Structure 1
Amino acid sequence: MTTTALVPLASTASMRYGGLIVVMLLSFFLVTAEFLPNGVLTEMALSLGITPGQAGQTVTVTALAGLLVASTVGLLLPRLDRRSLLMGAAAAATVSNLVVALVLSLVAILIARFLLGAAISAFWAMSITVAARLASPDRIGRAVMFGSAGVSLATVAGVPIGVALSEALDWRVAFLLIGIATALVGVAVRLALPPVPPAAASSLRLLVDTLRRPGVGGGMAGHVLIVLGHFVAYTYVRLSLERIPDVDAGTIVLLLALFGVGGLVGNVVVGVIVDRAFGRLAVVGPLVIALAIGVVVLFPATVAVAGAAAVWGFFFSSWLIIVNTWVGHRMPDRLEAGGSLAVTGFQLAIMIAAGVGGIFVDTIGVVPVDVIGIVLLVVGAALFGLSLNARRAQAALGR
């Protein structure tokens, strides 16, 4: 088994805000590129001569790459400085976006999106390790918040701006601009981040052993179902929003922006309390998301959907903070292993949601797909809650 040095933690009072902001920007552009197809699904389908469900496979292939890379990047590159790994992720994402912007072949676009998925998973698998290098142990939740804030900014600004550009010019222009911006952030990673040595020990045996810890396997299963439930509904959210009577493209952009605004607020609020409340948030959050999706299904009116979108964004955009904080507090000696498992589960859920969801959308419609998402969220919340109880019971027996 290959061993590497433990990640040096920042001093107790230290928060390297410059580095954390650069991490946030990289997260912003990666996630904007990842989910921009959700907002321009109709335009992509028309341009490429395919169905919306088939266009959704540009998300599926990204998730497939993430699924393969998240659990293996630490094994394949056990000694590579994680700052260099983030620079490589930025370079790969740049190439992907430029290919999507410039080529006409669907096959080439899918290959490029696969490359993007690899970059995204490499970033997220290392995010906890990087956070531990940039902040003290008692502030790891707040440090993780910066990366997750990039997700919220992508939904509040990145994806809506991309949709607006696609309406005014062309969806390919949006991908071109994202590619250029990602390249610039890759340079900033080299300048703003300190060296980040790998966390200790990477091996398949370590991943399996981590899953077998009390409460970890059940928590990861709940995590997968929660993310799956969200993305079953969110991947085809454009189709759900088009159910609103007399809705136009501008209103859809606004509703997507409200999702992001809710997420941005959620990141700040949850980031402040997550280190002491992640257990409760892990159960309450998914249940509220399920309720919000229910409102979208049952009350397809602009005002009701606007409120539901903001609440939905508030709780899901902070989900990565909650799960990564859970990993940081429950597995402080297994940061890369826990982070890899969380990202693998995340990408598995996205792949299933986009792939199977696309088939369902084309056959039974978007409303039944939303209902499936609600059920998955409720079951996932229950599993996560049970895993937390199992962990507490094991700790009590240990005393």
Structure 2
Amino acid sequence: MSAASPPSRLVILLLALAGFASMASMRVTDAMLPALSQAFARPVADVAQNITLFAIAYGVMQLAYGPLGDRHGTLRVIGLATLACALGALGSALSDSLSMLLLFRTLTGATAAAIIPLSMAWVGDNVPYEQRQVTLAHMLSGAVMGLITGQVAGGFLADTLGWQAAFLLLTLLFLAAGGLLLEALRRQPGLSPAKSDLGRVAFVSRIREVLLISRARRILVLVFLEGIAAFGALAFVATHLYERLDTSLTRAGLMVALFGVGGLLFAALARPLVARLGEPGLATGGGVLMGLGFLGLALATLPALATVSAFCAGLGFYMMHSTLQINATQMAPAVRGTAMAVFAGCLFLGQSVGVSLGGLILRLANSTWLLVGAGLWLLALGLIFAWLLRQWHGSRAAVSPAS
């Protein structure tokens, strides 16, 4: 399918469904950490390793899925990987020890790694640049709904049917998403042609091609730092609210789910926000909202304040992250699948570092300091990104008249 062709609504819907399952799986244990701690008789910092290992596997495997997507077709790789996720989810549900759970969560992270970055690469290959940010926002709304559902369902099912039920539901969801996507591809093979000419390009050479680009290196550093602070801290927010507000896991999960609702609002308003604020404005506003949101979560003494704070943090995150994404799609157009895989890998390797740092901080201090630090970190990051965007746009404007 050429870049000039209109994107298939069916493909975008199925990619959103697969992204939903991926993000639900990634965040499903956030609100159930206290329940897992009790089930395995281990501290919260120990059971939180399941999030760290998921994120490490997710990030490292980007380096494999990018070239695979470029060579064999992005949709085919996504469909097969989604079915493989079902095995990891089923194994997690059947785990009777923490080590077994960690093993299958690592497997799920390794296979889920293909879904969202290769979905972004497909959009980059098939949607014109001026429509791409809005299309990405709409497609990724499925991923945001997965984030919300994972956080809410994780806490609710841990409170009611037991934590294993959440993984059984994920097993069914992955089977449905992967099966439907492969069936759509079987009916329309042209949706995802393989780029056979890229098959001769060495794996390391593709990654090197991305890393040699100065702007690409800056974007990758920014998204790595974003992953450390935003996703790293988010893993502990439900536990923080559960302990600070003395509430149930279900209510804590519901409050944190407003992070994803903020993302849905951005997806709904993406077109007017992009037109009114521009990329630097989205980065600045996103940094400010994330800073205020995480500070509010750290200091909240009432559920209402925590809920509003989670919403602000989520809206801010998606304002800034979508702007990083749109710039990432142009980092290396010749090997876009690899470029987007490296981008996503940096984000989730950042998450793994963030969760590890968070666990260390919780051993030395309380979770309030963790969330305060994340808020200040993200505020500074948004302002730095906005400054870089103004520089890049200024350079582009200076070159255009001369060309």
Bigger Cα displacement from structure 2, 253-262 vs 52-61:
253-262
C-alpha distance after superposition, 1:192-229 (max 9, x if no partner): 35431356746433433333434332232122212211
Q: Which residues of 2 match residues 47-126 of structure 1 at below 5 A?
A: 47-75=39-67, 78-126=70-118
8 Å CA contact 1:222–1:383 kept in 2: the answer is no
Which of 193, 196, 206 is the equivalent residue of 2:192?
A: 196
For the residue of structure 1 that corresponds to 2:72, the secondary structure is coil
Residues in 1 aligned to 2:295 and 2:157: alpha-carbon distance in whole angstroms: 30
For the residue of structure 2 that corresponds to 1:197, the secondary structure is coil
8 Å CA contact 1:232–1:370 kept in 2: the answer is no
8 Å CA contact 1:66–1:344 kept in 2: the answer is yes
- AA aligned to 2:314 is G
Q: Which residues of 2 match residues 1-399 of structure 1 at below 5 A?
A: 8-11=2-5, 14-75=6-67, 78-132=70-124, 135-193=127-185, 194=188, 195-198=191-194, 201=198, 203-270=203-270, 273-274=273-274, 277-317=278-318, 319-329=320-330, 331-392=332-393, 394-395=395-396, 398=399, 399=402
Residues in 2 aligned to 1:138 and 1:394: alpha-carbon distance in whole angstroms: 19
8 Å CA contact 1:145–1:267 kept in 2: the answer is yes
C-alpha spacing 1:33/1:137, structure 2 compared with 1 (3 Å): same
Residues in 1 aligned to 2:71 and 2:372: alpha-carbon distance in whole angstroms: 45
C-alpha distance after superposition, 1:215-245 (max 9, x if no partner): 3322321222122111232110122212444
C-alpha spacing 1:306/1:121, structure 2 compared with 1 (3 Å): same
Q: Identity of paired residues, percent? A: 19
Bigger Cα displacement from structure 2, 25-34 vs 195-204:
195-204
Compute the RMSD of aligned alpha carbons: 2.5
Structure 2 residues not aligned, in runs of 5+: none
C-alpha distance after superposition, 1:338-390 (max 9, x if no partner): 31221011111111011121121122121121122123213322432343244
Count of residue pairs the alignment pairs up: 391
C-alpha spacing 1:76/1:265, structure 2 compared with 1 (3 Å): closer
- AA aligned to 1:196 is S
8 Å CA contact 1:67–1:347 kept in 2: the answer is yes
Residues in 2 aligned to 1:323 and 1:67: alpha-carbon distance in whole angstroms: 17
8 Å CA contact 1:16–1:135 kept in 2: the answer is no
- AA aligned to 1:342 is F
C-alpha spacing 1:297/1:345, structure 2 compared with 1 (3 Å): same
Residues in 2 aligned to 1:380 and 1:260: alpha-carbon distance in whole angstroms: 20
8 Å CA contact 1:21–1:146 kept in 2: the answer is no
For the residue of structure 2 that corresponds to 1:72, the secondary structure is helix
Structure 1 residues not aligned, in runs of 5+: 1-6
Residues in 2 aligned to 1:368 and 1:333: alpha-carbon distance in whole angstroms: 43
